Structure 1
Amino acid sequence: MLETFLTEEKACAEPPERTTVEDGDEKEAEASASAQTAETAKVQRAVSKKRKPVDPEEDSVPPPPPTEPTEYALNRPRRDMTQASTYRNASQSLALVPCCRFLGCAGSGLAQAQPFKVEMDPSVAVLMDLHAHMCSNEVIGLLGGHFDAASRTILVQKVFPGRGKASGRDVEMDPVAEVEMRAEIAAAEMKVVGWYHSHPVFEPNPSHVDIDNQINYQSLFRDSDSGLEPFIAFIIGPYDLRLPTQESRLQTFYVQNRAGAAEPTPLQIDYTTSKVPLDDEVAASACKLVDSQAKVERRVSPTELWRPFTTLTNGVPSGGPLTKLAKMRASLRSHLTRADMDAKDAEELLDQIAKHMQNSWKVDLGY
């Protein structure tokens, strides 16, 4: 096709061959030649409109191969859990943004201070982390609790895991599940005080999408009496190979517009863990959560290798290999230890969760 096009252009560009004529026919021959030249120019203009000039070097170089999607992009879900028509439109940028720090005492009301104190039930960290460990896609859910405007304190008391809908490379919140969760929270006489999601294999810093969603939620759940926006976000990072220990990273953040900043700023939220003893309800909630993940797309294989070493200190690996089940148990154990649970009781709870997973998922975990 290219050779034919070049041949046609060459033929059009060549002047017509002159023939010998008699003196009496000279004027007629000149007129004929002039008409042919005009017709040639007309054809050239038509060809140039239809075809772009060919650059030989450009035509000889093959196009670069398509870029493979990153691990982040493969795992990243869409979390449009608010009504986009009335809220800030997420930028869809997947770049991660490190969180800044507040200054001063939380809940003091000072300009640079954390706007409220946050106190969290120990079961919340356990169940969020368990949820994050069970799926190689991102997981998502809401958090129920209370807000005391007088003391500027958020109490995070219960986890309400969400259902996701697979959509190609992304997962988004099932809208029916969100309605159900908010109804459950209201039935428990609680308010929605936060949300959580996971970054399965990368650091738990918020992306621009996370930041935009958080802004939307802060606006949606603004407290009309105090004017505050008592709504926080948690990100859990369970399977990042760069983790120094087996414990997942947990990032809590809030978004503010800071003077001089071009974009809204994510700021790390500090929280304390309530001294509430963990009871049988934690085990029941954990087993229910395990059941909910039994048929989830991209559910993890508990016996699969997580990484070929145990700890990573200053970039130096040490210790033996860890399965994802061993990683999950170690991370959950750290939460139970901080909750002052007896070591023996903690192991019994972890065994109970693992045995239930074996039965519910129909996998052999050695129990």
Structure 2
Amino acid sequence: MGSEPPSSPQVVEDGGEEDEEELSGGEEADLRSSSGRGSLLTRRGITLRVLLKDGLVEPGDGVLAIHYLGKNFVGDLLNDGKIRWVETGQIFNSPSAWATHCKRLVNPAKKSGCGWASVRYRGQKLVQYKTTWLHKYQPSADMSLVSEEDDDEDEEEGKTAVQADEKNKNIKPGLDVMVSRRTDRERIPVRYCSLGTRDAARDPHTLVELSAFSAINRFQPFNVAVSSNVLLLMDFHCHLTTSEVVGYLGGRWDTNTQLLTVLRAFPCRTRLADKDSASAVEEEICQNLFMRGLSLVGWYHSHPRGPALPSLQDIDSQMDHQLRLQGSNNGFQPCLGIICGPYYHGNQGVASTITPFWVVPPPEQRPNDYGIPVAVEVTYVQDNFLTSDVLNEMMLLVDYYRSAPDLVQFSQYWCPDTTMMDKIKGSLSCHAPKDQAYSQILEHVYSQLSNMH
């Protein structure tokens, strides 16, 4: 994803009728200060360069994506607001130009790319960032000017959107329902036995069902105990944003009892594609582990709106972590992977689905197969109280995501009778410490969430 572009990259400008117009610095300033329906270029004038200058998006490798008719395209967002297509290194002046080019490769009859509705930045449609910009700088502007592009959804998503609209006709008026979350195409997990040998053409985001150790004639080679405070902090982190998050797990490994005890979660307060700050964040976590006499024993990440099952990419990452923790002395130390699915509508009730997993290497005679993802049986240990460390981490996360464009809007509705705030409260109550005084402490955290919009 971070591959260097060709020395003389081709710049593609053809974006169809909806391509954005380039603005000078003065025009961009005028755009911020104008307001109402007659404002300057309310729809087309909001370019990626404008969003970058105002901090609503950040440049990065692989942060842009298009999913169209079963094909996936990944792009880098450059500092000047242009897009570099990872696969070829071509440079595009706008989302519309890139979307049109990619879609015509799949469907030559495609007339336009609907760029702002088709291109996603860190999993969220760009048109939603445009709406955020208008709310901030032109609160009186006509939002229909933004939504015009969103009406022209990808062919694959059209039917789902219509079905969602039909479902929501019965919802009480006035409820701010997250209808768009329901229109996301669901990734259907596949069975491991259907994968076969590695295939570069296979989507790395393909989800894979977990196997049982017994199904592959193995015993789980270690026992695992996880503190309820670990689950609480991890679940809280995963609920805050519509983008994927990641964090590390600290604990101890006892070679005599073969018991892995997970005692602390360390959320990464950084973006997955933010390579510049990742090393500093990881160094801080390493220092925290050392200060507490803990070892790195695993990692977690979220699938915000999908099943809590590993993707092919997750399987490879888990295998890398396992090999790294094992080190060069060939001593065995397990590395636990955990996936949290907070907003998947297939979950039972409001509780997040939390899936501990491990990866068994493929058979020696089939070295080019994927690793085998297996479910790990875990004992959950109830903590007596909420520690100050956990509370401090929660407040740091609140501060980090406070102004993020992908922050979950907790006043909105997850389902017709449950707000997002009800959802997070209900899920976290599943990890409640024995001392009920925790509820008063968490109410302070929830009040902070309510004031983040």
**Range of TM-score over shorter length:** 0.5 to 0.7
Q: Residues 166 and 284 (structure 1 numbering): CA distance in 2 closer, same or farther, change over 3 Å?
A: closer
Question: Offset of 1:150 from its aligned partner?
Answer: 1.2
Counterpart contact for 1:237–1:250, Cα < 8 Å: yes
Question: Offset of 1:172 from its aligned partner?
Answer: 9.8
Measure the CA separation in 2 of the matches of 1:237 and 1:70.
23
Question: Offset of 1:101 from its aligned partner?
Answer: 1.0
Which residue does 2:394 correspond to in 1?
A: 286
Query: 1:55-110: per-residue Cα shift (whole Å, max 9, x none)?
Result: xxxxxx834876986989826xxxxxxxxxxxxxx986110011111239xxxxx9
Question: Offset of 1:355 from its aligned partner?
Answer: 2.0
What letter matches 2:256 in structure 1?
Answer: A
What letter matches 1:203 in structure 2?
Answer: P
For these two proteins, the number of residue pairs brought into alignment is: 267
User: Which of 349, 367, 379 matches 1:272?
Assistant: 379
Q: Residues 111 and 209 (structure 1 numbering): CA distance in 2 closer, same or farther, change over 3 Å?
A: same
Provide the identity percentage: 27
Measure the CA separation in 2 of the matches of 1:158 and 1:294.
24
What does 1:92-103 align with in structure 2 at a 5 Å threshold? Answer: 93-103=204-214
What does 1:149-298 align with in structure 2 at a 5 Å threshold? Answer: 149-165=255-271, 174-222=278-326, 227-259=331-363, 262-281=369-388, 282-298=390-406
Measure the CA separation in 1 of the matches of 2:262 and 2:398.
22
Measure the CA separation in 1 of the matches of 2:357 and 2:276.
21
Counterpart contact for 1:145–1:192, Cα < 8 Å: yes
Measure the CA separation in 1 of the matches of 2:348 and 2:261.
30
What letter matches 2:391 in structure 1?
Answer: A
Query: 1:311-367: per-residue Cα shift (whole Å, max 9, x none)?
Result: xxxxxxxxxx2111110000001111xx4x25x5353233122123345x3x4xxxx
Which residue does 2:109 correspond to in 1?
A: 62
Q: What secondary structure does 2:404 align onto?
A: coil
Superposed CA RMSD: 3.4
Measure the CA separation in 1 of the matches of 2:349 and 2:381.
24
Structure 1 segments unaligned to the other structure (5+ residues): 1-60, 76-89, 105-109, 309-320
Question: Offset of 1:280 from its aligned partner?
Answer: 4.0
Q: What secondary structure does 1:164 align onto?
A: coil
Measure the CA separation in 1 of the matches of 2:203 and 2:291.
34
Counterpart contact for 1:223–1:230, Cα < 8 Å: no
Question: Offset of 1:234 from its aligned partner?
Answer: 0.7
Q: Residues 297 and 265 (structure 1 numbering): CA distance in 2 closer, same or farther, change over 3 Å?
A: same
Which residue does 1:352 correspond to in 2?
A: 444
Structure 2 segments unaligned to the other structure (5+ residues): 1-107, 125-199
Query: 1:257-290: per-residue Cα shift (whole Å, max 9, x none)?
Result: 2448732100111111224312342433323332
What does 1:270-349 align with in structure 2 at a 5 Å threshold? Answer: 270-281=377-388, 282-308=390-416, 321-336=417-432, 339=433, 341=434, 344-349=436-441
TM-score, with length taken from structure 2: 0.53
User: Which of 120, 127, 132 matches 2:238?
Assistant: 132
What letter matches 1:333 in structure 2?
Answer: S
Q: What secondary structure does 2:214 align onto?
A: coil
Q: Residues 183 and 270 (structure 1 numbering): CA distance in 2 closer, same or farther, change over 3 Å?
A: same
Question: Offset of 1:120 from its aligned partner?
Answer: 0.9
Measure the CA separation in 1 of the matches of 2:327 and 2:227.
22
TM-score, with length taken from structure 1: 0.64
Q: Residues 246 and 275 (structure 1 numbering): CA distance in 2 closer, same or farther, change over 3 Å?
A: closer
Larger Rg: 1
